[in-house]
């Protein structure tokens, strides 16, 4: 067993710490949140976060001050297909904590209880991840993170309704059709997933079908769970995904299954949440994710901030898209009216 407490202390010692009580006080931390990172990037300075270099087994060089996902029992080499799940697997096998979570280098839970403006995916969009924006949303507040997390059995992203929300093939009325329209999964793959769940984890089959046929989206593979629930989630997910990995033929897939198990993991995680809710035994808390459009390595960020506030070019597509989303949110009457007017001028 890798000494995760010592690892965390080593990681923390290589970065400046935020003010407040530390999470790493005894042999078993209260809350550890694995942060999936595939490149050098700064993260909020809270002791609860453990940055994990995913796909380290395939990388040309390690990332300084990050835990590689290829130490000990690991699935690091599967990262092109399993994405952030290689960080989740590593945490499952090596992290000891009362609560274990997963987030991404661009997505973090916001626990400040303020009424923030959110997009149609129930996420708070922010341009740049900097020490200032991390403080603004209290992402670096260990005390707030620990106190909030320990009020629940599991924390999940804020749910949202996919009906009326844009897809490349128009709005859809079920999660399955929404994901298919985006090209994330196929009908054939979802049938194979259902078959694998029915064979390996039948207790969750109803929940899987309820989630995919419903209109409430959870997803993102972002969560924080009580240790026993985290173990149950991982037992369920990786048992099904391993079986599917062995049985499904990706030879006709132009991407050879690239990223697909990450998307299937989102579905299985969501089915697990539906299962917990149906049982009614777990206290599940919903909190919005903060999504950062731009993140930077520590040295790059320091150089940028030395020049003053970060300013993006006016023609930046990301900035244009964000402005459009704020003015004309997907699914709104305002956007529908704008599309109608635009259509009249195009005739």
Residue 320 has pLDDT above 90, yes or no: no
> Closest Cα partner for 322 from 115, 121, 107?
121
* Contact (CB, 8 A) for 33 and 9: no
pLDDT value at residue 326: 52
Q: Is the pLDDT of residue 345 over 90?
A: no
Confidence label for 343 from pLDDT (cuts 50, 70 and 90): very low
Query: What is the pLDDT averaged over residues 309-317?
Result: 61
Q: What is the mean pLDDT of residues 65-74?
A: 97
pLDDT band at 20 (very low <50, low <70, confident <90, very high): very low
Q: Which residues contact 300 (CB under 8 A, 6 or more apart)?
A: none
Helical ranges in 22-141 per DSSP H: 79-82, 85-94, 131-136
Q: Are 222 and 109 in contact (CB under 8 A)?
A: yes
The pTM of this model reads: 0.84
Element (H, E) at 104: strand 99-104
Q: Can you give the pLDDT at residue 303? A: 76
Q: Which two tokens stand for residue 168?
A: 């490349």
Q: How far apart are CA 83 and CA 107, in angstroms?
A: 15
Pair 84, 262: CB distance under 8 Å = yes
Buried b (16+ CB within 10 A) or exposed e, 56-89: bbebeeebebbbbbbeeebbbebbbbbbbbbbbb
Which comes out higher in pLDDT, residue 254 or 38? 38
Provide mean pLDDT across the span 273-284.
98
Is the model's pLDDT at 255 over the cut of 80? no
pLDDT surpassing 90 at residue 97: yes
Q: Chain-wide mean pLDDT for the chain?
A: 86
pLDDT of amino acid 189: 94
pLDDT at 21: 39
Q: Is 220 left (phi over 0), alpha (psi -120 to 50) or beta?
A: left
């Amino acid at each position: 067993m890798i000494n995760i407490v010592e690892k965390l202390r080593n990681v923390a010692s290589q970065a400046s710490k935020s003010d407040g009580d530390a999470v790493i006080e005894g042999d078993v931390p209260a809350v550890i949140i694995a942060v999936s990172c595939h490149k050098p990037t700064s993260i909020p300075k809270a002791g609860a976060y453990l940055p994990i270099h995913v796909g380290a087994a395939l990388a040309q060089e390690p990332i300084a001050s990050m835990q590689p996902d290829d130490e000990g029992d690991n699935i690091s080499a599967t990262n092109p297909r399993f994405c952030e799940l290689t960080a989740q697997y590593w945490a499952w096998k090596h992290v000891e904590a009362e609560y274990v979570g997963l987030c991404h280098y661009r997505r973090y839970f916001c626990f400040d209880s303020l009424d923030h403006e959110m997009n149609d995916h129930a996420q708070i969009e922010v341009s740049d991840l900097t020490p200032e924006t991390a403080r603004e949303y209290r992402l670096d507040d260990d005390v707030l993170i620990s106190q909030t997390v320990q009020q629940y059995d599991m924390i999940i992203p804020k749910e949202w309704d996919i009906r009326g929300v844009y897809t490349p093939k128009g709005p859809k009325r079920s999660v399955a059709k929404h994901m298919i329209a985006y090209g994330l999964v196929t009908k054939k793959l979802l049938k194979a997933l259902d078959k694998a769940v029915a064979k390996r984890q039948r207790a969750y089959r109803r929940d899987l079908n309820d989630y995919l046929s419903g209109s409430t989206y959870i997803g993102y593979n972002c969560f924080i769970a009580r240790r026993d629930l985290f173990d149950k989630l991982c037992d369920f997910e990786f048992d099904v995904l391993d079986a599917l990995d062995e049985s499904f033929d990706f030879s006709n897939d132009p991407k050879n299954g690239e990223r697909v198990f990450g998307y299937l993991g989102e579905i299985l995680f969501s089915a697990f949440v539906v299962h917990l809710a149906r049982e009614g035994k777990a206290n599940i808390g919903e909190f919005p994710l903060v999504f950062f459009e731009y993140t930077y390595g520590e040295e790059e960020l320091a150089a940028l901030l030395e020049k003053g506030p970060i300013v993006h070019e006016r023609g930046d597509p990301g900035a244009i898209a964000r402005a459009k989303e704020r003015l004309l949110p997907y699914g709104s009457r305002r956007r529908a009216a704008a599309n109608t007017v635009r259509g009249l001028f195009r005739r």
